[in-house]
Structure 1
Amino acid sequence: MANSSQKKIAHENAKTLLALRKGFIWAFYIFYRIVYHWNSFGLKLAFGYLFTAGLTVFLYTQINAMGQPRYNSKGELADAGQDLSQEGLVQYAFDIIYVTWFVHVTSAFWSKMWWTYLTIPAYAGWKAWHLAIKPMLGRSGMGAAGAEASGAAASGSTEGAKSKRREKMEKRAEKGPAVRYR
């Protein structure tokens, strides 16, 4: 079957996008929070809800645009779109949508659940630390490994600063030339 992997990706993307469309449960929040608890629904909650709902709609439209298959003039699959199950920014967009849904549903019962949104910037900070900041500190010599290596090089002692590859190469050189038999 031609393009079977592309067809499989297109089918999985369609299922994922359908599940996202079914997940938009804003009507529950609006009905319960506004109708039954009108006296506790203030301007802050309205602004927070509208902002986060807008963010969710924006992320959904981006995911939808990336995951839509494209067909040629003959009706054949030309491009399945981006695989929505791969890791990366698409998965972070899914995570933000899921956190938003959780906050919308739970804040209908307890308005302090809006604090759950702090998990998003906390996770982004943690990822930034491990992927960008920490490696840059290690390369500039400010980390512990960089300080030890620079201290060993400065004192003239290169014994502790040798890499494993360098040690292997030196051992091979000590053994002499390799003899090959046919």
Structure 2
Amino acid sequence: MANQGAKKRKEENARHMARLRQIIIACNVIYVLLRMLVFHSSFTWKHWIGLIVTSLAYVIPYQQLAKMATPAYAEDGELLDGGFDMSTGGVCGYLHDVIYITCFVQVMSIVSGKFWYTYLVIPAFGAYKSFGFIKGFLPGGSEESFEDEKTRKKREKMEKKASRPKFAKTRTR
């Protein structure tokens, strides 16, 4: 019964990584079969570059996810940790998003080359998140200038009330 959670997480991560691998392989097979074999007359060097770019866009996030999903073992071979929970957000979620966007771009680029512009979503979202992170370090002097007199007095009153000592009423018999 010991380490049941770690064993369960290890199995979930193995299934999850196998599913991701299947999705990546399916998208590559669809692209190669349709783009290279069916539409071979319109296949140019740009499509080779696209295939290399999408392959890199698969490999890098997949390797990071595989490292995160790797279980940790003790020296005697006992399972200590089943790996990172792949269903959480944060970096793990962003890596999944890159893989899914790459799948979409690769398959849809068979239809039209305009779908490559969808890749601009990734750096745009990164810039958006970075701006929010950097904004937290900037001085917030401009925020206080928007506080009007009524709001300032209300805030000061609440601060004054919060700073008063509080006494608890007790019953004596």
**Matching of residues 99-114 of structure 1 within 5 Å:** 99-114=101-116
Question: How far is 1:181 from its partner?
Answer: 4.4
Identity of aligned residues (%): 33
Count of matched residue pairs: 169
1:169 to 150, 155, 162: 162
Q: SS of the counterpart of 1:162?
A: helix
Q: 2:153 aligns with which of 120, 137, 159?
A: 159
Alignment of 1:80-91 (within 5 A): 80-91=82-93
Task: Measure, in 2, the Cα distance between the counterparts of 1:36 and 1:84.
Answer: 37
Q: Which residue of the partner structure matches residue 146 of structure 2? A: 148
Letter in 2 for 1:132: F
Cα gap change, 1:119 to 1:181, in 2 (>3 Å): same
In the other structure, the counterpart of 2:64 is: 62
The separation in 2 between residues aligned to 1:65 and 1:121, in whole angstroms, is 23
State the distance in 1 between where 2:169 and 2:73 align: 60
**3-state SS of 1:84 partner:** coil
Residue by residue, what CA displacement relative to the aligned partner does 1:52-71 show, whole Å, maximum 9, x if unpaired? 21121121111112102233
With normalisation by structure 2, the TM-score equals 0.81
TM-score (norm 1): 0.78
2:36 corresponds to which letter in structure 1? I
- Work out whether 1:132 is the aligned partner of 2:133: yes
Counterpart-to-counterpart distance in 1, 2:125 and 2:96? 14
Paired with 1:50 and 1:179, the residues of 2 have a C-alpha distance of 73
SS at 2:111's partner residue? coil
Q: What is the match of residue 4 of structure 1?
A: 4
Match of 1:23 in 2: 23
CA-based RMSD of the aligned residues comes to 2.7
